[in-house]
Homo-oligomer: A and B are copies of this chain.
């Protein structure tokens, strides 16, 4: 029996941070280790170009960095197919054919794209590629006949767009060629989105409020020591607040079962007064370090041979391409445009 197919990926626009780690990477490794899925993980460089066309020269470096992050957290190219989007020309071809099945009005109604367009401040100059990217994403998903796509709740409209294209294609060409994917959404969205060190809802490179998987121990220590806690908690003996205190938020996210009792004890102590921020931060650092130091060590090891990392990506891309080429063949056969 064929295993269900999972497709996930990231835009290579910089190194990944611990928000990516708890929000998706960790879960991918779990799924990989369950050995019940056929998993494809890809670096969406063409998608990154839809709003970074002018910074294309940074993409190669980002690809290497994100690939290191993948390997470091435990994604294993022997178990999961790791590939680069632009290495699969079939995805561009599928996008061309799907574009004829989606109206411009439908694209313009996509809530995710609408929000992103507002955020990015394109003004009157929305790049056509950006508007079209939900169709390109449908090509990514359907090329591998993915059954399951783990995404944030904000990506629901993208999955819906893909499902519509699948139904429209299969109906128009009267063949069951494409597979309707299901989104896998986080149980609650808060769990999926780690706030920044400064308390900002979003952890990001541009806000300079993140801990990266590539940060060394000293950098992590400095970052943790500068975290946003309770601005009214001036003296150690003062009672402090837990809500909105990033140290306790992170402890809740990164603490394991066996840490729960200690964390609850600290919370009570902090709230009644007498527990200083330096202590809570040192404890968080310990917990983070337990999680991050093996990742960091593996990352340093892999980083010694970037040529090998790219060879791994090349191999993964070749494997992915075979699957995508097969789907494109079926798509063209269904449309009656396989001529030779």
Q: Which residues of A contact B (CB under 8 A)?
A: 45-46, 49-51, 53-54, 56-57, 59-60, 63, 84, 86-87, 89-90, 92-93, 95-97, 99-105, 107, 124-132, 135-136, 172-173, 310, 313-314, 332, 335-337, 339-340
CB-CB nearest in chain B for A174: B57
The contact of A102 among B49, B100, B127, by CB within 8 Å, is B127
CB of A100 within 8 A of CB of B84, answer: no
Q: A56-B336, A92-B96, A313-B339 are in contact. List 10 more A-B contacts (CB 8 A).
A: A53-B100, A56-B337, A57-B336, A87-B339, A89-B89, A92-B95, A95-B96, A100-B127, A104-B128, A107-B128
CB-CB nearest in chain B for A130: B100
The contact of A93 among B92, B97, B99, by CB within 8 Å, is B92
Residues of chain B with a CB closer than 8 A to A104's CB: 126-128, 131
CB of B59 within 8 A of CB of A336, answer: yes
CB of A128 within 8 A of CB of B135, answer: yes
The secondary-structure label for the interface of chain A is helix
CB of B335 within 8 A of CB of A57, answer: yes
Residues of chain B with a CB closer than 8 A to A86's CB: 93, 332, 337
CB of A127 within 8 A of CB of B101, answer: yes
Q: How far is the CA of A12 from the CA of B101 in the complex (A)?
A: 19
Q: How far is the CA of A313 from the CA of B337 in the complex (A)?
A: 14
Q: How far is the CA of A339 from the CA of B66 in the complex (A)?
A: 14
Q: How far is the CA of A89 from the CA of B124 in the complex (A)?
A: 31
